Chain A
Amino acid sequence: MQQAQIDMEELLRLQIDEENSLRGYLLTHDPFYRSEYRSAVAGYDATQSAIRQTLQSQHLTTSGKLLADYTHLQDEWRATVARPLLAHPHERLQELDKRNKLFSDYETLTAGAIRRQLASTGEQLARSTQVQLDRSSYVRAAWVLVFGLLAIVFNVYRSRLNRELEEERAVTKILQRAFRSESIPLPHCEVGSAYLSATSHIAVGGDVFDVYRLSENRALLLIADISGKGVDAAVLTAFVKFMVRAIALRDSAPAEILSEFNVVLAKAVGDPYLFASMFVGVLDTDTFCLTYASAGHDAAYLRGQDGVMPLKVTGPVLGVMEEPFGTETVELEAGDTLILATDGLTEVRNPAGEQLFDQGAMELIAEASPEAQPLADEIVAKVRAWAGRSVPDDLAVLVVRVLGPEAAHA
């Protein structure tokens, strides 16, 4: 549009050049003015053609018609005024002057009308563009504002949630640490333990293990995994630990301990959805006879001279049904190692989604260090390495290695 306006000014300049060249020739009869006239004519024709194309492309039909009139007038002026005067420069007639005046008036006014319409269309275009720009700016600003507010609200909410989860995780870890047994020395045995917390806040939960001396030569070995996560599950681990100790002090048969605890769990906690897997063993540190009962707790292994073997489950998980639990007895020898873990060992998956299962766990145990504490630490380290960047579940490991009666004397 602006180019059309510029061309229009150029057209008027060329028209004046035509007239001035004609006047110059009439006054001086110098051929220079004739050639100036011709070049002005050529420039005028080219410029009006450019303007006509612009007007057509912009669909400005009114201005197009005015331009056609204008061009027609100029052609007529050339035919009826300019050429006769160029041919007979000495004969200036009154009627010819009047006709020149008529052409001049019409052309000036027509050009003015075209210019006005171009300017008006240009302004209209600029105004509507501005309106659209303003509107899109407002809409964009509104969206930015809405998303900004949402982002702020979301961030505040997420920060608060993270803080709360972090606090809960910290409390849970404190509770776990408080209720987890320190390594209690057992005669003729070596005890090791390790614990790996889940990386996710909500996965920290109810793994518990305990080594407790029931008498001079009898030790309680406990490992359990209580359903549920967070502070509630961590608190329950304390309940499990001390309740099992209390029952074991009265009746040291592992199956009876599990049966009695099963009843207590249902009555004392009163949560029908709560269940726990538990391994309870009683080790005679003189004879190295291990009696145990396992309530659905399958991550228990014995490493001996023949390799690693799982200790079988002797009953269902606690909190589901009241069924009798079986008892198993294993005669341990010097060098045998009992490895008790929670399901964080067998259920861990690597980033490709492959689960370790029993077989993997046993291979891992078989390759690990013979000593109790390094073995526990290695298991945790290898599980962490297998899991990759995130550990999905807690893992508790309790290792008891039989050293034999000679070790005590040594």
Chain B
Amino acid sequence: MHKVLLLLAVCWVGVATTALADCRVHRGQHVVLYSTTDDPSVLMWDSRARLREYHAASFDVAQAMLPHALLVSPGTHADVLACISSNVVSPLFLSPDDAVGVIVTSGSLRGVARWVLGSDVRLMHAATHR
């Protein structure tokens, strides 16, 4: 029993370490939401699974999922709650992207926690921190 627990602990540490090591942002960091697509608004998803499904799905499926998303204006501030490295895969991506859990710290959606794509978050400089 001890051995199994030890093995699980090692696995968890390994996965967590890898995820943390490769993530573009880390818990507690202040970020700005800004999309790299032609529309810089950012979709925020109510679960990490939904974020993943949205990017992996066909257009029609993705469209059907839109009620589960919130749209925030570009430049909205947020704090990082979690980051899972290379967690979002899409046939249209060159490489997998991170899944980042954030809590909005500005605007009308202040205090709302959601999941966003790694490429939609930009680290804020120290001078712009609240």
Listed in ascending order, the chain A residues whose CB lies under 8 Å from chain B are 15-16, 19, 69, 73, 76, 94-95, 97-102, 104-110, 112-113, 116
Contacts and interface: CB of A to CB of B under 8 A. Distances in A.
A98 B38 contact: no
B118 to A, nearest CB: 14
B37 interface: yes
B43 interface: yes
Contacts, number: 53
12 contacts: A19-B38, A19-B39, A95-B66, A98-B66, A99-B66, A101-B35, A101-B71, A105-B39, A105-B43, A109-B93, A112-B92, A113-B92
B4 interface: no
B94 A116 contact: yes
B39 A69 contact: no
Contact of A97 (B37, B41, B67): B41
B17 interface: no
A94 B71 contact: yes
Nearest to A112: B92
B93 A101 contact: no
Contacts of B59: 69, 73, 76, 102, 106
Interface residues of B, number: 19
A101 B41 contact: yes
Q: Main SS of chain A's interface residues?
A: helix
A104 B37 contact: yes
- For the complex of A and B, list the 7 residue pairs with the smallest distance between their C-beta atoms, beginning with the closest: A104-B39, A109-B92, A108-B37, A104-B38, A98-B71, A105-B37, A98-B66
Interface string B83-102: 00000001111100000000
Q: Which of B41, B43, B59 has the most CB of A within 10 A?
A: B59
Given A109-B92, A109-B93, A100 B39 contact: yes
B92 A101 contact: no
Contacts of B69: 98
Nearest to B36: A108
B62 interface: yes
B39 A101 contact: yes
B71 A109 contact: no
Contacts of A97: 41, 71
Interface string B11-42: 00000000000000000000000011111010
A12 B49 CA distance: 31
Contacts of B41: 97, 101
Contacts of A94: 71
B93 A102 contact: no
Contacts of B90: 109
Contact of B92 (A98, A100, A110): A110
Given A101-B39, A108-B37, 4 more contacts: A105-B35, A105-B43, A108-B36, A108-B38
Nearest to B43: A101
B63 interface: yes
Q: Which of A100, A101, A107, A110 has the most CB of B within 10 A?
A: A101
Contacts of A98: 43, 66, 69, 71
A189 B43 CA distance: 132
B32 to A, nearest CB: 17
Contacts of A110: 92
B66 A107 contact: no
B127 to A, nearest CB: 30
A106 B38 contact: no
Contacts of A73: 59
Interface string B46-64: 0000000000000100110
A110 B62 CA distance: 14
A19 B92 CA distance: 22
